[in-house]
Amino acid sequence: MDLFKKYPVSISNTLSGKKEKFEPLNPPFVGMYSCGPTVYSEVHLGNLRTFTAFDVVFRYLTHIGYKVRYVRNITDAGHLTNDAGEGVDRIEERARLEQLEPMEIVQKYTIGFHEVCRIFNILPPTIEPTATGHIVEQIEMVKKIIENGYAYEVNGSVYFDVNKFSEKHKYGELSGRNIEELMDGSRALNRQDEKRNPIDFAIWKGVPPNHIQRWPSPWGEGIPGWHLECSAMGTKYLGKQFDIHGGGMDLKFPHHECEIAQSVGAYGIAPVRYWMHSNMLTVNGEKMSKSKGNSFLPHELFTGSHPLLTKAYAPMAVRFFMLQSHYSSTLDFSNDALNAAEKGYRKLMNALDALKELNHPKTTAINESLKNDLDRLVDECYLSMSDDFNTAKTLAVLFEMSARINDFKSGNQDLGAIDSNTFTHFKNTYINFIQEVLGLREDNAQDEQLLNGLIQMLIDIRKKARTDKNFALSDEIRDDLKAMGVQLKDGKDGTIDYEIE
Ligand code: AMP
Ligand code: ZN
């Protein structure tokens, strides 16, 4: 029997605000979309929390027997510096700053993103479409929306007409906003005269002649609107209506609200049945974001080089830290929490090692209550994940299981007191939940910490050598490290970072 029938999934649907039974349109197939990164800079730990949350959803649905088509896009054009659809294209801006082609920026940060996903054991989606690879589909969708009377063209840009749309349809349902309030709120903002209304948003944006990224369209050369990209790629691979759409809470408005309006405007149908939003990773209660200067980059974490970090942390300890809270709660970063996560992670992995070594002996007298206890724990793993992907509850169950494993290992509990089927089921569940569902793997954390500690020690010795004007020693340390593939990055006050090739 398919596990999804035995353990039906429920999802907190942010559209209805309720926890609902998950009923895919065409079981066992599931169509799922989540907004991918805008590849104009390195992803930070906050971004990774969201990608990890949907990685776990993908992993669990697959584990219980669904055939999931998981689309996570790469935004490589059209995302402006201001989410209200104003400002300049982030990739274009970065290309000018770094004096590179926009596609070189895209390539650089896409490779970086994939590398970080690999380090954090975030699986690749089944389709990873790029916005620039789907300009044709986007233009077709814009045409449809114009045809249906919900968009208008001005000076080579096309805007979605929110007022017109809301005469027939609801706008603001997902984010719980009403159109009058939105109109009042936006009037005070920088008024863009091109639009009929300040809350209208660009679905195609004409660009000036010096803009590097540009594509021909019926309205002249331009770039697609960021909201429209996700609508067009979601529709292309998952259909006009599909099962799950995810993203961080901060994308609910305007991004996802606009996605709904565009699909209804083009095809007359709500695109998504279950909207899921992951909550923010915070630092001292504030959302982690690049613009606030409180974000950590993955390599700052592994090297401990960020001023807010007291030491280096291994990727799997960080993944464990993220899984310890439910995706819909905020998660506050602290060194204490990461230290605790490191210990928790080690405890689970030690039990995993011990379990792999355990072999079931001949069954002696069966202990019914022990058998029931192990079966209950297996059940609870599934029940807690099926309950809106509650990784926090699941980890608590896995800790209970690890205590049983330790009892078997130490001989406090006789393994022969259960039948081999019960043991195999228990063993497989523990292994599968840790490795497949939660995506935790052996990290060699101790080796990495030792390595980082030794490099840091050499950096300190080099600093002292420089203070003592012993430049020969300072250069020798730098050159020897370089020969071993460790590149020191010097700032004006000494070494600020390093990279291991
Ligand atoms: P972006 O590359 O800015 O489009 O963001 C990629 C994803 O990261 C989006 O789904 C955002 O909602 C999410 N995100 C951004 N900041 C945070 C944060 N502090 N905590 C959790 N998710 C975040
Ligand atoms: Zn999106």
47 CB within 6 A, ligand 1: yes
Relative to the CA of 331, which ligand 1 atom is closest?
20
Percent of the chain scoring above 70 in pLDDT: 95
Q: In the prediction, which pLDDT does 384 show?
A: 98
Examine residue 445 and state whether it is found in any structural domain, yes or no: no
Examine residue 423 and state whether it is found in any structural domain, yes or no: yes
Main-chain dihedrals φ then ψ at residue 216, nearest 5 degrees:
-70, 150
Examine residue 443 and state whether it is found in any structural domain, yes or no: no
CA of 261 to the centre of ligand 1 (A): 22
- Segment 65-92 shows an average pLDDT of 88
Contacts of 372 (CB under 8 A, 6+ apart): none
Which residue among 50, 275, 291, 333 has the greatest number of ligand 1 atoms within 8 angstroms of its CB, and so is best to mutate? 50
pLDDT per position as a tens digit, 95-143? 999 999 999 999 999 999 999 999 999 999 999 999 999 999 999 999 9
Query: Which residue type sits at 429?
Result: T
Main-chain dihedrals φ then ψ at residue 281, nearest 5 degrees:
-85, 130
Which residue among 120, 250, 331 has the greatest number of ligand 1 atoms within 8 angstroms of its CB, and so is best to mutate? 250
Torsion of the alpha carbons at 157, 162, 163 and 169, rounded to the nearest 10: 140
The DSSP-derived string for 57-87 is HHHHHHHTT-EEEEEE-BB-S--EEETTTEE
62 lies in the same domain as 112: yes
- Segment 69-84 shows an average pLDDT of 88
Q: In the prediction, which pLDDT does 88 show?
A: 83
130 lies in the same domain as 8: yes
How far apart CA 123 and CA 495 sit, in angstroms, is 34
381 lies in the same domain as 466: no
Q: In the prediction, which pLDDT does 84 show?
A: 63
* Ligand 1, atom 1: closest residue by C-alpha: 37
- Domain encompassing residue 237: 3-278
Closest of 80, 79, 69, 75 to residue 113, by C-alpha: 75
Relative to the CA of 251, which ligand 1 atom is closest?
12
CB 90 within 8 A of CB 40: yes
- Ligand with the closest atom to the CA of 36: 1
Contacts of 491 (CB under 8 A, 6+ apart): none
268 lies in the same domain as 306: no
Percent of the chain scoring above 90 in pLDDT: 77
Torsion of the alpha carbons at 300, 319, 336 and 327, rounded to the nearest 10: 120
Q: In the prediction, which pLDDT does 190 show?
A: 53
290 lies in the same domain as 274: no
Mean of per-residue pLDDT scores for the chain: 93
User: What is the domain count for the chain?
Assistant: 3
117 CB within 6 A, ligand 1: no
Q: The domain spanning residue 412 has which CATH number?
A: 1.10.730
271 CB within 6 A, ligand 1: no
Q: In the prediction, which pLDDT does 83 show?
A: 64
Examine residue 447 and state whether it is found in any structural domain, yes or no: no
* Ligand 1, atom 2: closest residue by C-alpha: 37
- Among the candidates 237, 263, 278, a domain finishes at 278
Q: In the prediction, which pLDDT does 14 show?
A: 98
- Segment 165-189 shows an average pLDDT of 84
- Among the candidates 278, 311, 344, a domain finishes at 278
pLDDT per position as a tens digit, 270-300? 999 999 999 999 998 999 998 888 899 998 9
Q: In the prediction, which pLDDT does 413 show?
A: 94
CB 255 within 8 A of CB 203: no
- Ligand with the closest atom to the CA of 247: 1
CA of 50 to the centre of ligand 1 (A): 6
252 lies in the same domain as 294: no
How far apart CA 149 and CA 489 sit, in angstroms, is 56
- Is the pLDDT at 201 greater than 70? The verdict is yes
- Segment 300-313 shows an average pLDDT of 88
CA of 284 to the centre of ligand 2 (A): 27
Examine residue 454 and state whether it is found in any structural domain, yes or no: no
* Ligand 1, atom 7: closest residue by C-alpha: 47
Residue 485: strand pairing partners: none
272 lies in the same domain as 419: no
361 lies in the same domain as 469: no
78 CB within 6 A, ligand 1: no
Can you give the pTM of this predicted structure? Answer: 0.89
Examine residue 420 and state whether it is found in any structural domain, yes or no: yes
CA of 311 to the centre of ligand 1 (A): 25
* Ligand 1, atom 17: closest residue by C-alpha: 46
- Ligand with the closest atom to the CA of 252: 1
Examine residue 208 and state whether it is found in any structural domain, yes or no: yes
CB 354 within 8 A of CB 405: yes
Q: In the prediction, which pLDDT does 180 show?
A: 81
Contacts of 142 (CB under 8 A, 6+ apart): 151, 158, 203, 204, 217, 228
206 lies in the same domain as 309: no
Examine residue 452 and state whether it is found in any structural domain, yes or no: no
pLDDT per position as a tens digit, 323-341? 999 999 999 999 999 999 9
227 lies in the same domain as 373: no
pLDDT per position as a tens digit, 445-477? 556 667 777 888 888 899 889 889 999 999 999
196 lies in the same domain as 309: no
Q: In the prediction, which pLDDT does 186 show?
A: 66
Relative to the CA of 38, which ligand 1 atom is closest?
2
Q: In the prediction, which pLDDT does 118 show?
A: 96
Q: Tell me the pLDDT band of 85, cut-offs 50, 70 and 90.
A: low
Q: The domain spanning residue 104 has which CATH number?
A: 3.40.50.620
How far apart CA 60 and CA 47 sit, in angstroms, is 20
- Among the candidates 258, 278, 298, a domain finishes at 278
CA of 35 to the centre of ligand 2 (A): 4
256 lies in the same domain as 289: no
Q: Across the chain, which distance is largest between two alpha carbons, in Å?
A: 83
